Chain A
Amino acid sequence: MDIKFFEQLFESCFWALALKEVRQIFRNKQLLFLLTFPPTVQLCIFGFALSPDVRHLKLGIIDDSRTEISRELVAALTENQVFIAQTYPANPKALGEEVRRGKVDVGLIIPHDFQRTLKRGRPIEVQVLVDGVNAYTAGVASNYVNQIVNQYGYQLVARPQGANIVPQIVYLYNPGLISSWFFVPGVMGMLLTMVSVLASAVEVVKEKDAGTLEQLLMTPASVLEILLAKVAPLFFLLMGDVFLSLGVARFVFAMPFRGNLPLFLALSGLQIFIGISLGILLATVSRSKQQAILTSFFITLPMVILSGALAPIESMPPFFQTLSLFNPLRHYITIVRALMLKDVGVSVLWPQILALAIFAFVFMSFSSYRFRAQAQ
């Protein structure tokens, strides 16, 4: 019975067409190279380069006091690498100029009567100047300065061991808070989706432009067979990309894989399928190659932004949070992060899996409908 199945398969139009597509892709060495090499390199680069930490902020210091206590305060600020003592300008005007030119992120001015006042047990103020161009960093930086300065001020009061709340913090799944463990799954999903949408859109539109689509439609093959054969080689190439990415995650970034591997592969396949269907859909609705390229870019970039791969979804305005629920990439990235870092399965991930399945069904049926409508 198995043999019969294979006989049927090999004699079918689908097989012949798939072979044609495979040959076409393998003849195009440039495409083969572009589908595998850049995504892998980019995963490496972005995995290392992306980091949300606020660290190594350049601190400009004017210490008019020049005393032991003032130096200790500076040491308290710079000891944990958040701030780095960059410059010691002569006066506030020079400090202002350095902030203006971006040489300094945070300026600190310690008054000349700093030690004297503190020794008398009186409170004193230090001035802090923050470059607010990057609003997020500025917020974090000013919080840090306030916290450290306040803390140092409390220490001086020589308080006896009093009431205190000590949080005992445990970071689950990523105890070292390694940035790449957060970004690698996101970048992986992002690259897979971009490449699958762009490549499939171009492949279909190329056939349309060259007029060879009509030739294919003259053959006894059905529309669905043509479509599936068209995407089959692309699908397997992209699955190859999934394995490459897994290898990079494992061997370059030493990421754990705690979940279920077959589940991960199946869902990655589903995501690639969604990307390819979306690409075909875009190719069938656009009238020219330029339009297909422009619109597929236009679709994929917001998909990346609204996926939580780079910036957190929680901080988006409510409208965009709702919109992101209609983004398959968001669900896929949630799945990849969960499967790589947490040991969870279908019982937790079913809403995301269901969403992906619905997207796959809707996109594929709509794009094959459009394809068929255009064929006639």
Chain B
Amino acid sequence: MKLKRVWAQCVKELSQFRRDRLTVALAFLLPFATLLIFGFAIRLETKNIPLVIQDFDNSAFSRAYIERLYGTNQLDPVRWFRDKLAQDSINQGKASAAVIIPPDFSRRLKEGKTSTIQVLIDGSDVANARVIKNSIRATNTFFLKTEGLLPKQSLITSRTRVWFNPGRQESLYMVPGVLAINLVLYPSILAAIAMVRDKEEGTIVQVYASSTSATELLLGKGLAYLSIALSEAVFLMMAAALIFGTRLAGDPTPLLVGTPLFLATSVMIGLFVGARSNSQSAAIQVVGAANALTTMLLSGFIYPISNIPWPLSLLANLVPVRYYIELTRDSFVRGTGWPGIWFVFPALAALGLVLFWGAWQKLQRMQFSD
């Protein structure tokens, strides 16, 4: 292996990339736009769930209860007719839930008896269904307390402290994840395109004919796209700091070491796919379907990995971005540093080497396979 050849391959790749000005612009603009859209749009804490209430009691008491139900920003009032089935409002998609208050609601409560209210919830939206249930339960207790029907204070109270993110800002959780997702998607697509382009245009034959070895070819291309990915990373992290106010929490060295390592695996994903597939359409299909969705859905980006049931959770361990998300969340929010996330580094290095080996296997024979 000669470093000179690696370097030459890298320089050639970069000048080829630079020539297509629009692609250069897209390589930065698209991740930036993705950062904005994902960073602002993905929120799990549900608000403004449309709720219909049919009040057959129609007393001051029941109206006070209704006011309590709508008092939080979780439930939003929807008008519905008293003479129509409440369920129809859910069937027609106008409301996600309906509460039916019986005529004897206030009488029974004032007599110190139990009153049962009917709650219909649209179960097709699983996450919201649970939120609605909990919200109504909590409102019931709160209402009984304020009306003096329950003792004001429970004997045991909990004093809760939320660490690392006391305001429970969801953007603090999402944005580090979006950074990681961006830094696997775009570098890997760019690298895959570069690899396949050589094959399709036939220029790879020239490489085969030259004295360049498979290792040198992969390292040269990898180095070129690693440098592009690094500039994307710096650019995106600065943008996130300016727009979302993400700040480094604690020791910055894990991030400084981990980012190049992770970007190297991202580029290797692209080169691996590029080396393994024969045409560009197939290549992007593989990168697209497998990479984009798997990274988004099996990495703990939106829903925690601990929610994935057992045999599939093993699969999640093979997704490099899963480790990098842990790293960015630690660096930007938790700030534990090395003792908390040391495992990220061997995992990323191992996955990167496996990908490199897979691409090298295919290329080392230096001849067309089909």
Q: Per-position contact with A for B151-192: 1 when CB-CB < 8 Å, else 0?
A: 101111111111111101110110000000000011001100
Indicate whether A302 sits within 8 Å of B126 (C-beta atoms), given known contacts A138-B168, A157-B155, A315-B47.
no
The reply to whether A172 and B280 contact each other, CB–CB distance below 8 Å, is no
User: Is A265 located at the chain interface by the 8 A CB criterion?
Assistant: no
- Cα distance A163–B197 in the bound complex, in angstroms: 74
The reply to whether A175 and B123 contact each other, CB–CB distance below 8 Å, is yes
Q: Per-position contact with B for A136-164: 1 when CB-CB < 8 Å, else 0?
A: 11110011011101111110110101111
The reply to whether A145 and B307 contact each other, CB–CB distance below 8 Å, is no
Interface stretch (choices B209-217, B231-239, B297-305, B353-361)? B297-305
The reply to whether B158 and A127 contact each other, CB–CB distance below 8 Å, is yes
Write out the residue numbers on chain B whose beta carbons fall within 8 Å of the beta carbon of A101: 336, 339-340
Write out the residue numbers on chain B whose beta carbons fall within 8 Å of the beta carbon of A287: 22
- Cα distance A152–B154 in the bound complex, in angstroms: 8
The reply to whether A124 and B281 contact each other, CB–CB distance below 8 Å, is no
The reply to whether A178 and B280 contact each other, CB–CB distance below 8 Å, is no
The reply to whether A166 and B114 contact each other, CB–CB distance below 8 Å, is yes
User: Is B278 located at the chain interface by the 8 A CB criterion?
Assistant: yes
Indicate whether A312 sits within 8 Å of B125 (C-beta atoms), given known contacts A132-B164, A348-B92.
yes
**B-facing residues in A23-64 (Cβ within 8 Å):** 28, 30-31, 34-35, 38-39, 42, 45-46, 48-53, 55-56
The reply to whether B143 and A165 contact each other, CB–CB distance below 8 Å, is yes
Write out the residue numbers on chain A whose beta carbons fall within 8 Å of the beta carbon of B122: 172-173
The reply to whether A348 and B37 contact each other, CB–CB distance below 8 Å, is no
Residue in B156, B162, B302, B336 whose CB lies within 8 Å of A132: B162
- Cα distance A91–B84 in the bound complex, in angstroms: 59
Residue in B22, B121, B125, B185 whose CB lies within 8 Å of A169: B121
The reply to whether A159 and B281 contact each other, CB–CB distance below 8 Å, is no
Q: Per-position contact with B for A292-326: 1 when CB-CB < 8 Å, else 0?
A: 01110110011011100011101111001000000
The total number of A-B Cβ pairs within 8 Å is 380
The reply to whether B285 and A302 contact each other, CB–CB distance below 8 Å, is no
Write out the residue numbers on chain A whose beta carbons fall within 8 Å of the beta carbon of B151: 154, 157, 159
Interface stretch (choices A12-20, A246-254, A335-343, A358-366)? A335-343
Q: Per-position contact with B for A92-132: 1 when CB-CB < 8 Å, else 0?
A: 00000001111000000000000000100111111111111
User: Is B257 located at the chain interface by the 8 A CB criterion?
Assistant: no
The reply to whether B115 and A142 contact each other, CB–CB distance below 8 Å, is no
The reply to whether B154 and A167 contact each other, CB–CB distance below 8 Å, is no
User: Is A182 located at the chain interface by the 8 A CB criterion?
Assistant: yes
Write out the residue numbers on chain B whose beta carbons fall within 8 Å of the beta carbon of A167: 99, 116-119, 133, 136-137, 140
Name A101's closest neighbour in chain B (CB-CB): B340
User: Is B289 located at the chain interface by the 8 A CB criterion?
Assistant: yes
Write out the residue numbers on chain B whose beta carbons fall within 8 Å of the beta carbon of A222: none
The reply to whether B160 and A181 contact each other, CB–CB distance below 8 Å, is no
The reply to whether B334 and A191 contact each other, CB–CB distance below 8 Å, is no
The reply to whether A312 and B46 contact each other, CB–CB distance below 8 Å, is yes
Q: Per-position contact with A for B340-357: 1 when CB-CB < 8 Å, else 0?
A: 100000000000000000
Indicate whether A156 sits within 8 Å of B45 (C-beta atoms), given known contacts A52-B127, A101-B339, A173-B123.
no
User: Is B277 located at the chain interface by the 8 A CB criterion?
Assistant: yes
Write out the residue numbers on chain B whose beta carbons fall within 8 Å of the beta carbon of A190: 293
The reply to whether B334 and A133 contact each other, CB–CB distance below 8 Å, is yes
Q: Per-position contact with B for A62-106: 1 when CB-CB < 8 Å, else 0?
A: 000000000001000000000000000000000000011110000
The reply to whether A135 and B340 contact each other, CB–CB distance below 8 Å, is no
The reply to whether A290 and B304 contact each other, CB–CB distance below 8 Å, is no
The reply to whether B312 and A152 contact each other, CB–CB distance below 8 Å, is no
- Cα distance A287–B87 in the bound complex, in angstroms: 53
The reply to whether B161 and A129 contact each other, CB–CB distance below 8 Å, is yes
- Cα distance A189–B289 in the bound complex, in angstroms: 13
Name B100's closest neighbour in chain A (CB-CB): A168
The reply to whether A130 and B46 contact each other, CB–CB distance below 8 Å, is no
Residue in B42, B124, B159, B296 whose CB lies within 8 Å of A125: B159
Write out the residue numbers on chain B whose beta carbons fall within 8 Å of the beta carbon of A338: 93
Q: Per-position contact with A for B60-81: 1 when CB-CB < 8 Å, else 0?
A: 0000010000000000000000
- Cα distance A146–B159 in the bound complex, in angstroms: 9
CB distance from B125 to the nearest CB of A (A): 6
The reply to whether B165 and A135 contact each other, CB–CB distance below 8 Å, is yes
User: Is B364 located at the chain interface by the 8 A CB criterion?
Assistant: no
Write out the residue numbers on chain A whose beta carbons fall within 8 Å of the beta carbon of B280: 202, 206, 289, 293
The reply to whether A305 and B41 contact each other, CB–CB distance below 8 Å, is yes
Residue in A150, A168, A202 whose CB lies within 8 Å of B157: A150
Write out the residue numbers on chain A whose beta carbons fall within 8 Å of the beta carbon of B155: 118, 121-124, 153-154, 156-157
16 more A-B residue pairs beyond the given contacts A126-B158, A154-B150, with a C-beta to C-beta distance below 8 A: A52-B127, A56-B306, A127-B159, A135-B165, A150-B156, A152-B154, A169-B121, A173-B123, A179-B126, A198-B285, A288-B20, A294-B30, A297-B30, A297-B288, A315-B45, A320-B40
Interface of B toward A, CB cutoff 8 Å: 20, 22-23, 26-27, 30, 33-34, 37-38, 40-49, 65, 87, 90-93, 99, 108-130, 133-134, 136-138, 140-141, 143-144, 149-151, 153-166, 168-170, 172-173, 185-186, 189-190, 193, 197, 277-282, 284-286, 288-290, 292-294, 296-298, 302-304, 306-309, 312, 315-316, 326, 329, 333-334, 336, 339-340
Would you list 16 pairs from A and B whose C-beta atoms are within 8 A, ordered by A residue?
A: A49-B298, A51-B307, A102-B340, A133-B173, A146-B158, A163-B113, A165-B117, A172-B87, A173-B124, A177-B123, A177-B126, A182-B124, A182-B126, A294-B23, A311-B41, A348-B92
9 tightest A-B contacts by CB? A153-B154, A171-B123, A153-B156, A174-B123, A132-B165, A52-B127, A202-B281, A132-B162, A136-B44
